Amino acid sequence: MSAGPEPGQASRLARTLRAIGALLQTMPRAVAWIPLLAWAGLIFYLSSRPAPQLMGEPSIVGGWLTNSAHGVEYGMLALLSALVVPRHAGWPDIDARRFRILIVLIALYAASDEWHQSFTPHRDASVCDVITDVVGASLTLGAIVFAGGARASDAKLARIFVYGIPLVLLAGALATFADWFTDPSRT
């Protein structure tokens, strides 16, 4: 059993993601603020709405899917954030310092969104949701770093997907079970 994807699969994944990245990089940085702010606004709007019920009545599976979606939601926020970062040779120049700054800003936005959500009827704030948000954003930024630029690596990029998707699902499970076991209406 191998510790990751086969080299050919990693190369195909990397080529595909680099092509998508190159297309996204055609957007000027000054214009890239528009989709970033629109996505942040959409997150804010959705957290002011009642929680969607997946699969009918509230369930652990529906909660898990909803909580895991936080990783994708904030992964998209990270992707759009990377589009406003200065570029080197046409790729976001995300060094360790910029990575930390972006993650801190995204974590602060996630925490403020959870706080905002706590004022919405039938919603609550969850530290576990913020954890899922940060996991999704971190993995996305890592994928951007390894997809192009000076630190491009097909193998590292593929590993982010192989290990990252289960990690987001695990963070979503943590949020689900923490909510499930601490909800007084379930007793």
pLDDT tens-digit map of 106-161:
999 999 999 998 888 877 888 989 999 999 999 999 999 998 888 888 888 888 98
* Domain-wise residue ranges, the chain: 7-49+59-182
Question: For a pLDDT cut of 90, what percent of the chain falls above it?
Answer: 47
Q: How far apart are the two ends of the chain, measured CA to CA in Å?
A: 44
Closest to 47 (Cα-Cα) out of 29, 31, 69: 69
Rounded Cα gap, residues 107 and 166, in angstroms: 20
* Element of type H or E holding 152: none
Strand intervals (E) in the chain: 87-88, 91-92
Tally the C-alpha atoms within 13 A of residue 1's C-alpha that lie toward its C-beta: 0
- Inter-residue contact 48 to 116 (CB < 8 Å): yes
